[in-house]
Amino acid sequence: MEVLMPEPQIYVERTLAIIKPDVIDKEEEIEDLILRSGFHVIQKRNLQLSPEQCSNFYAEQFGKVFFPNLTAYMSSGPIVAMVLARNCAVSYWKELLGPSNSLRARITHPHSLRALYGTDELRNGLHGSLSISSAEKEIGFIFPEAILEPVPTGQRARDYLNLYVKPTLLAGLTALCKEKPADPM
């Protein structure tokens, strides 16, 4: 009987997920839901942000009425930050999160994470990047050691594979076939 193997996937899109202070006790449950939704956790970090760090992280929200409450809330306790990867990671993560207002999410997206774990518009349980560019910026902020190089897609990716990866694999596999080692490992 032939065993069907799924085609290997390369997850090139990443997004930032943050479990906020008021739902940190649900970390394992939330991470399980994330993994069951097809995401891979690339990096994970437990930390507590200072009010100044929160102000820098949410700088685009500066001047809005809720900004002081947001920075106070996000610095009120520990958080868990994760870099998630999968195809279309940003859009799938936003879909899984649901609307930013947890009260609205309970009505319009009752199975979303914010409907399940959030309490109101400010304390919505989780953070998600709004776009690929904001994900790169936010990942760099939380994980400064992360290497975020632009990942080629489409024809550029095929060209890269044909130019660099395939010749290396072909040479290595050819050498392995010629050697025919008794114990290849």
User: Helices (H) and strands (E) in the chain — how many of each?
Assistant: 9, 4
Q: Which two tokens stand for residue 72?
A: 């106070």
**What is the reported pTM?**
0.75
Mean pLDDT of the chain: 89
Please confirm, yes or no, whether 40 is among the known catalytic residues. no
Percent of the chain scored above 70 by pLDDT?
88
Residue pair 17/139 in contact (Cβ under 8 Å)? The answer is no
Main-chain phi, psi angles of 69, to 5 degrees: -65, -35
Q: What is the pLDDT of residues 24-49, one digit of tens each?
A: 999 999 999 999 999 999 999 999 99
Give the pLDDT mean for 5-17: 74
The residue ranges of every structural domain in the chain are 14-142, 152-184
Given a cut of 60, whether residue 165 has pLDDT beyond it is yes
Q: What is the pLDDT of residues 65-116, one digit of tens each?
A: 999 999 999 999 999 999 999 989 999 999 999 999 999 999 999 999 999 9
Q: How far is CA 184 from CA 119, 175, 179, 180, in A?
A: 56, 12, 9, 8
Give me the catalytic one of 40, 109, 111, 127.
127
pLDDT at 171: 87
Q: Which CATH number fits domain 14-142: 3.40.47.10, 3.40.50.150, 3.40.50.20, 3.30.70.141?
A: 3.30.70.141
Given a cut of 70, whether residue 5 has pLDDT beyond it is no
Whose CA is closest to 80, among 13, 111, 34, 37?
34
